[in-house]
């Protein structure tokens, strides 16, 4: 009988099946976890409450749910330069209860980030200094909420 079991279920196939089942269970948890679904809804609502720069055009959005956080990002095209974007969001967000935590410069990526916090949220306003691609975004808002 033992040889029949070995014939049908090698150790390797049992390990592969176990790993597959674990990853499947983790993916289902991430997709359907009530807490993460609620966090994503709350994060989307919070990001929607932040105004975009006048005359900017929505380009794309991105939503991610991971086991420990959710992130929602919106990308925009705009004629505003970095200083205008910085001034606009520092002023607008202050009125909405956000704290400005400084800026980060990524010279190689031609990217500047403004960092804000409010309660458990972390907001990053990114400015793309590389304006060579016409269809690419000029600035983005990315909101993170961790468990």
pLDDT digits (tens, 9 = 90+) for 71-115: 999 999 999 999 999 999 999 999 999 999 999 999 888 899 999
Are residues 77 and 14 part of one domain?
no
Element holding 144 (H helix, E strand): strand 139-146
**Structure confidence by residue, pLDDT tens digits, 57-75:** 999 999 998 888 999 999 9
Per-residue CA distances from 127 to 3, 24, 91, 116, 138 (Å)? 64, 37, 17, 14, 6
Same domain, 4 and 69: no
Is residue 1 located within the same domain as residue 51?
A: no
Say whether both 58 and 101 belong to one domain. Answer: yes
Domain boundaries, position 88: 33-146
pLDDT level of residue 116 (50, 70, 90 thresholds): very high
Q: Note the pLDDT of residue 92.
A: 97
120 and 63 part of one domain: yes
Work out how many domains the chain is built from and give that number. 2
Enter the DSSP assignment of 110: T
Provide the percentage of residues in the chain whose pLDDT is more than 70: 84
Residue 144: pLDDT band (50, 70, 90) is very high
Strands (DSSP E) found in 15-138: 57-65, 69-77, 99-106, 111-118, 121-128
At 6 the pLDDT is 59
Same domain, 58 and 96: yes
| Judgement on whether residues 44 and 72 belong to the same structural domain of the protein | yes
CA 56 distance to own-chain centroid: 20
Tell me the two tokens of residue 71: 């992130």
Q: Using CA of residue 117, residue 128, residue 88, residue 83, what is the dihedral sign?
A: positive
């Amino acid at each position: 009988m033992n040889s029949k079991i070995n014939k049908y279920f090698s150790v390797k196939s049992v390990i592969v099946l176990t790993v597959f089942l674990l990853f499947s269970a983790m993916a289902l948890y991430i997709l359907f976890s009530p807490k993460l679904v609620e966090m994503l809804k709350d994060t989307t609502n919070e990001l929607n409450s932040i105004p975009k720069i006048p005359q900017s055009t929505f380009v794309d959005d991105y939503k991610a749910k991971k086991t420990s956080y959710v992130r929602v990002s919106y990308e925009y095209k705009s004629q505003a330069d970095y200083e205008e974007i910085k001034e606009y969001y520092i002023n607008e967000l202050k009125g909405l209860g956000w704290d400005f935590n400084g800026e980060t410069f990524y010279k190689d990526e031609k990217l500047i980030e403004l960092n804000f916090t409010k309660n458990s949220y972390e907001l990053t306003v990114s400015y793309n200094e590389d304006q060579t691609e016409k269809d690419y975004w000029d600035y983005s808002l990315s909101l993170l909420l961790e468990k």
